Structure 1
């Protein structure tokens, strides 16, 4: 019933005229502002946000399926609206009327320009036949993207007899087959990691076909609407603006080869499935840290950090009957010391079967200025996959889990602290390469000794995490960071090449060629790397920002960056924060500085 309450109004909405209707009521809005807060846009937005969440989060498969159908219908209608000539003409007339446009506030101008940008990249300038073709391609892309993302997480199977019996215990058994759904990167046995890597990444013909079709469809759409490639279309609205040059490094791989030789002298070669394992050997032992990172302690640490930076507290509230979709979901009110209630965060933190394996943030309702002058409070959901508490211990987080929690809370606070006039640009609704800034900044907090020292306490004794362990944890993030950066660069290059000019060869052949050129480890025959294809670039400028844990700095960060959501040009927000326009050299120097650890302690520990 919950899903159908979304689906039925949508069907009615689809039958309405596509022209947006403005509320005819007593309002504090100007006619232009009211147009951007039109009822159709708000209702579509609300339906889509809820359906997008339900299709992945609801425990009942029938609800998920109904929500997925809703998302497809909404996507189809949005693409039709994006090629509606009458709507575009009205907006264009407004933008070209200098007398009216000059009187608009900066955020309203930005939203108007973003709507026009949506029209342009959707092919509004094409003739009727080609506009229809563009709509059909966009609808097809919605379906292909969904198929691809679902297929990426499916495990691979291999007959038991094909593997040595002594390693069967490391994998899931399925009759006469072994099912492998991951890389088993932390397994100490080289053979287990090798088998997991080769089987899990063995090419799936169906997935590869979907990928080829997806890339072809994206290329057709980009060229149809006038772009050189899909990469050019995707990057136009970001801080990067257009495909650029990328780089790579090889130093960390030499360090790993040295460790590999020490730990396994008979087979010193470094292969891809060794990387994560030996990276972990450089780093810390998670089990030693988990007792100090209970979920309660971590949440208290976040609460203290937000209070220091923004004057904000997280207060637990009891949800109403039927308000949450699982009994272990917790509701938090986000309250400012002078402004009062800012919004709500629903914390769906614990593992459930059929729950997405990837930690994520969902906007259920975006913030916006209401016509009576009040503010519509944002509502978001954070989904993690933490272990349940036991009879003898609370939920204990590994350092990686703790870092992921901080990351997702960065997204949530972006939504809570945003105070945009329009829902279209609220919170995390900003360009892709800027949307990750607040969350990755929180990862820096998660590995800063000043922050960790405030909340890391042993769940049994209450003793703080020893300073030596705090220092080691903070420094461990820098170890082999360049290798991880190179992997991300390799993925970014792959993304640009896949979405660049069409090539007369398979995606696998392209990947092999790119790995030889831009990655420090050899390609493994009959494997493929599958990764998300929507984010092409992430800027590495966070270390420039912060001498943090300072209220004045936190308030400036909120005022200059978080408050605007997508309602301001990203580079202008960065300039406002830094008081200068950063250059490529600034980005690179900050990254190099951040990846400059003293390796001796890690090498000595690994030998012990």
Structure 2
């Protein structure tokens, strides 16, 4: 099955980060890194790079510098979005799609006509080029239709998307391509001529074709298409309709003691009754502050009780997925969705989750014991024991007691201006991988909003290797969810493609025509021409309130930005010759490893010493401020990990053979899972499964985030020495991670990457025992 890139969105898993580095480590690192004039010294930066480093900070932090920088482009000729020379106006999308369709049809004809060993040798690369051609349109148009503020561009992008998506679906349900690939795979004389990437692409496509019911009779293929469409519709409706059965609770003022008076005033009527919404930030704040336990219980239950129609919709969706899996010869949807992942089987996932749960028990028991003592001290003998609705209240009280009362909550943000953090990311990547961000002026028409900053990624030996468009500021109508989009993947462009492009578009320079005007680069070491990855990085940071001040980030914002840059660096350094396996195009349960690992770097003392300085005074960040924040977060790590384990177990149960039963009851399963694995009893009237929106996108694979957190913690400890002795910025450590993980994209089995980076041969083949071993590592944040 031909498929295109998915956006990698930040998944708030409530996992907190815990580190034990002492303040003196930061002070020592700062003393070693700062020269007499106060400038940070980064190994590998020459005078030009030093200038780019300073410009990088200024274009994000200074309104005046950005205005001067962005106004330079007014006299430059207009280009298309992302430099794509077709996309100078909305009508260009149709031209882009039509030319791409014609290109795809030629490739399909070539594959279907293959009849000799020489012909079949080309099949994996031809199918990869076919995938790349489709994704050039689909990935870019999917982004534009959901992001571009001009509805004309959005509508044109949607039309182009639908045109190519329909064509791709026809290809995925037409047996010819699959048949030719099977012939090539079955001929040892052909397969022996393939490199590792070609073999990986062939295996991936064969598995994907089988998932699209390609081997089934025509009537069953039609049933497959019908079920797939219905599942897609039900999933969209489920996510859209998420919300509590009861939207508001009316509370007498006597029941709201402890709430912020200003917040309470916003939701109170003239008789003093509070009309408390049951979804959003307000009920969360209420659970953290209201003193009355009975009121907290009522808010908790209301916020975890879905409408009956939502539960019915969920059960229909799960049953349809079960039908689809059985149609394709699988016992369950979980089996179908995981057979090409690192986990391979639902049984291995269960082994991982139950082992992880056992590993987490001691931590969560200690946490609940401490909170119970706090509640008992409040209530004395009247206490009913520690309950689910007490968690947020007593955790919030404990945090306020631990944090320094002398500091404002936003005090740490003064050390994290957006430009400073971007500068820090570039410096970190220079230390670890020899790559840095260089700001580039954009031409008119190249971006979808005037606030977009373009950064070219420069490798110290390969030169320009990627382009990143940073859309980091909040604005009306913008999706607030942080995300990383690969709009074009890395891939080799062959001389044959350049010759074909020259013939098709003689008026355009051949290399430009071969990549639609988007960036390319010839390797100085190999001479190979690459289409460069083009990435869009989306966040929703507030614009500064004053034109003279920068955007200041919370520590959570810094972690989010580091997380998204983890995906980006995977796309940047996963420079494979074939598109199907480039960058983040890897198994779902492996794709979060680089991004989760980056969250460890975000709180490391030595890494912070590279950039964290007060935006006005230039004074370095006192690390005890970060340590204090992390100490508070560590107190809730066990509960937060358990919460994610419960959701992952629920995801597995809903996508197990249970969903095929005519009496499938999602509420009963929900309470069975919680009764068996939760440390805090769940009230029997709740139906919180109706809020589990990630069931739609992650069906059967929600365990992935916990799995990658466990691996990332192990890599941080074993490879980067938990940051000790400058381990977080040592090039030799970065090279190990680059050579064993990042450079492969998805062309190497994830277990071999983990085995290689950790130096543990016992993990190379994966399997249930390897999954269990990862569970034993625990979540070491």
TM-score grouping bracket, smaller chain normalisation: 0.7 to 0.9
Label 1:217 to 1:562 Cα distance change in 2 as closer, same or farther (>3 A).
same
**Residues 30-81 of structure 1, C-alpha deviation per residue, up to 9 Å, x if partnerless?**
7345413434x33321222123212432335675566566656655443432
**Residues 301-351 of structure 1, C-alpha deviation per residue, up to 9 Å, x if partnerless?**
211111110011112222222222222222111111121111111111122
Cα distance in 2, alignment partners of residues 77 and 397 from structure 1: 44
Counterpart check, 1:432 vs 2:535: no
Cα distance in 1, alignment partners of residues 678 and 584 from structure 2: 32
Label 1:357 to 1:492 Cα distance change in 2 as closer, same or farther (>3 A).
same
Cα distance in 2, alignment partners of residues 21 and 182 from structure 1: 53
Residue of structure 2 in register with 1:221 after alignment: 324
Counterpart check, 1:232 vs 2:329: no
Cα distance in 2, alignment partners of residues 303 and 264 from structure 1: 52
1:220 positional shift: 1.0
Cα distance in 1, alignment partners of residues 379 and 155 from structure 2: 49
Residue of structure 2 in register with 1:497 after alignment: 653
Paired residue secondary structure (1:421)? coil
Cα distance in 2, alignment partners of residues 331 and 263 from structure 1: 55
Partners of 1:293 and 1:397 within 8 A in 2? yes
User: How many correspondences in the alignment?
Assistant: 588
Label 1:347 to 1:197 Cα distance change in 2 as closer, same or farther (>3 A).
farther
Cα distance in 2, alignment partners of residues 377 and 588 from structure 1: 37
Paired residue secondary structure (1:496)? helix
Counterpart check, 1:452 vs 2:622: no
The one of 371, 374, 381 aligned to 1:256: 371
Residue of structure 2 in register with 1:203 after alignment: 306
The one of 521, 526, 534 aligned to 1:379: 534
Residue of structure 1 in register with 2:122 after alignment: 31
1:500 positional shift: 0.6
Residue of structure 1 in register with 2:434 after alignment: 311
Cα distance in 1, alignment partners of residues 481 and 585 from structure 2: 20
Cα distance in 1, alignment partners of residues 549 and 143 from structure 2: 31
Cα distance in 2, alignment partners of residues 193 and 308 from structure 1: 49
**Residues 208-230 of structure 1, C-alpha deviation per residue, up to 9 Å, x if partnerless?**
34322321221111110000100
**Residues 398-439 of structure 1, C-alpha deviation per residue, up to 9 Å, x if partnerless?**
111111111001001111111111111211111101000000
Paired residue secondary structure (2:778)? helix
1:585 positional shift: 6.0
1:526 positional shift: 3.9
Paired residue secondary structure (1:290)? helix
Residue of structure 2 in register with 1:603 after alignment: none
Residue of structure 2 in register with 1:511 after alignment: 670
Residue of structure 1 in register with 2:688 after alignment: 528
The worse-fitting range, judged by mean Cα deviation, of 222-231 and 564-573 is 564-573
**Residues 499-534 of structure 1, C-alpha deviation per residue, up to 9 Å, x if partnerless?**
011242432332122112122223243442423021
Counterpart check, 1:20 vs 2:108: yes
The worse-fitting range, judged by mean Cα deviation, of 309-318 and 280-289 is 280-289
Partners of 1:448 and 1:474 within 8 A in 2? no
Residue of structure 1 in register with 2:732 after alignment: 552
Partners of 2:250 and 2:276 within 8 A in 1? no
TM-score scaled by structure 2?
Answer: 0.69
Cα distance in 1, alignment partners of residues 375 and 416 from structure 2: 31
Counterpart check, 1:297 vs 2:420: yes
Partners of 1:449 and 1:474 within 8 A in 2? no
Cα distance in 2, alignment partners of residues 74 and 254 from structure 1: 57
The worse-fitting range, judged by mean Cα deviation, of 446-455 and 403-412 is 446-455
**Residues 350-369 of structure 1, C-alpha deviation per residue, up to 9 Å, x if partnerless?**
22233223211111111111
Residue of structure 1 in register with 2:168 after alignment: 78
1:570 positional shift: 1.0
Q: Where does the alignment leave 5 or more consecutive residues of structure 2 unmatched?
A: 1-86, 114-119, 496-527, 721-727, 764-769
Residue of structure 2 in register with 1:541 after alignment: 711
Partners of 1:75 and 1:139 within 8 A in 2? no
Paired residue secondary structure (1:232)? helix
Label 1:520 to 1:22 Cα distance change in 2 as closer, same or farther (>3 A).
same
The worse-fitting range, judged by mean Cα deviation, of 238-247 and 466-475 is 466-475
TM-score scaled by structure 1?
Answer: 0.87
The worse-fitting range, judged by mean Cα deviation, of 123-132 and 407-416 is 123-132
Residue of structure 2 in register with 1:590 after alignment: 777
Cα distance in 1, alignment partners of residues 647 and 192 from structure 2: 43
The worse-fitting range, judged by mean Cα deviation, of 559-568 and 49-58 is 49-58
Residue of structure 1 in register with 2:344 after alignment: 241
Cα distance in 1, alignment partners of residues 217 and 196 from structure 2: 32
Partners of 2:581 and 2:746 within 8 A in 1? yes
Residue of structure 1 in register with 2:280 after alignment: 182
Residue of structure 2 in register with 1:606 after alignment: none
Paired residue secondary structure (1:107)? helix
Within 5 A, what are the aligned runs for 1:74-153? Answer: 74-152=164-242
Residue of structure 2 in register with 1:464 after alignment: 620
Residue of structure 2 in register with 1:599 after alignment: none
Residue of structure 2 in register with 1:275 after alignment: 391
Cα distance in 2, alignment partners of residues 298 and 230 from structure 1: 42
Cα distance in 1, alignment partners of residues 672 and 165 from structure 2: 36
Cα distance in 2, alignment partners of residues 366 and 536 from structure 1: 25
Cα distance in 2, alignment partners of residues 343 and 126 from structure 1: 41
Paired residue secondary structure (1:38)? helix
Cα distance in 2, alignment partners of residues 207 and 3 from structure 1: 38
Label 1:55 to 1:213 Cα distance change in 2 as closer, same or farther (>3 A).
farther
**Residues 571-593 of structure 1, C-alpha deviation per residue, up to 9 Å, x if partnerless?**
1111221222334564244326x
1:457 positional shift: 1.6
Residue of structure 2 in register with 1:602 after alignment: none
The worse-fitting range, judged by mean Cα deviation, of 575-584 and 61-70 is 61-70
Higher relative contact order (CA 8 A, sep 6+): 2
Give the greater-gyration-radius structure (CA). Answer: 2
**Residues 147-191 of structure 1, C-alpha deviation per residue, up to 9 Å, x if partnerless?**
333334x68874575675967963876999765542543554237
TM-align CA RMSD: 3.3
Cα distance in 2, alignment partners of residues 238 and 571 from structure 1: 10
